[in-house]
Amino acid sequence: MKCTICGMDINEKNYNFNEGAFANKNSIDNIMYCPFCGVNKEYLSENSEIIEVKANLLDEKTLQILDHAVKLELFNGDFYRTAASKAKDNEIKKMFEALSVIETFHSKVHQRLGGFTKVPELNKVSYDKYNSDSALLKLAKQKEEHAISYYEKYKNEVNDNNLVAIFEALSIVEREHIILVEE
C-alpha cells in the first residue's frame, strides 16, 4: 500500500509508526492512515500511484507558498520536539514526539513538491515560559489552527490542482491533531 500524498510504502514493518499521533490505531488488517504523514485512508492506494506535482510548472507565488509551508511545518516539528522533552505526563510526551515526526515529515513533503534542495535554517524559538503540560497543549492547539488556516487560505492561491488536493489532505491531518491536543 502506498501513500499518494507523501509517497511512502506502508507495510507490516511500519504500519504502527508514530502511533501516538493518532486517536485510532492502525492494525495490519486495518490501515486507516499513513503512519508517516498522517493522511487518512482515502489517500492510500493499492496500486502505487501518487499525487504528482511538477515543480517546474509551479509559478513564483506557489513556490513561495511552498517555501513558507516548509518553514511552518519545521517550526511546528521543532516545537513538538521541545514540548516532548518538557512534558511531564508520559502519554502526552509520546504524543508530542509522534507529532514532531509527522510535522517534520510534512515539511519534507513540501520540500520535495517545491523541488527545494536545502533545508532552511530556522531561528531557535524559546518555549521556556510554557511550563506545564496544559500550557504546552494550548500552544499546540494554536499552532495546529495556524497550520489549518494556512492550508485553507493558500490552497486557493496555488497554480496546481494536485497541490490543492495535497493541502486539503494535510489540513485534515492537522484538524485531527487538534482533537488529540484538546483531550
* Contact residues: Zn ion, CB under 5 A: 3, 5-6, 34, 36-37
Question: In angstroms, how far is CA 55 from the centroid of its own chain?
Answer: 20
Instruction: Specify the residue, 43 or 150, whose C-beta has the smaller distance to Zn ion.
Output: 43
**Complex with Zn ion: residue 24 or 131, whichever CB lies closer:** 24
Shortest CB 75 distance to Zn ion, Å: 20
Q: Which is nearer to Zn ion, 18 or 82 (CB)?
A: 18
Cell numbers given for 71:
518553514
Query: Which triple of cell numbers denotes residue 177?
Result: 491533531
Could you tell me the maximum CA-CA distance found in the chain, to the nearest angstrom? 48
The nearer residue to Zn ion, 34 or 180, going by C-beta atoms, is 34
CB of 109 to Zn ion, least distance (A): 8
- Least distance to Zn ion, CB of residue 113, Å: 13
Q: Using the minimum distance from each CB to Zn ion, give the nearer residue, 36 or 80.
A: 36
In the complex, the smallest distance separating the C-beta of residue 81 from Zn ion, rounded to whole angstroms, is: 20
Q: Output the CA angle 178-45-105, nearest 5 degrees.
A: 45
Cα distances (angstroms) measured from residue 69 to each of 72, 107, 167: 5, 7, 10
Question: For residue 3, what are the CA distances in angstroms to 31, 51, 84, 89, 181?
Answer: 11, 9, 27, 32, 25
Shortest approach of Zn ion to residue 51 CB, angstroms? 10
End-to-end distance of the chain based on CA atoms, in angstroms?
31
30 phi and psi, to 5 degrees? Answer: -140, 90
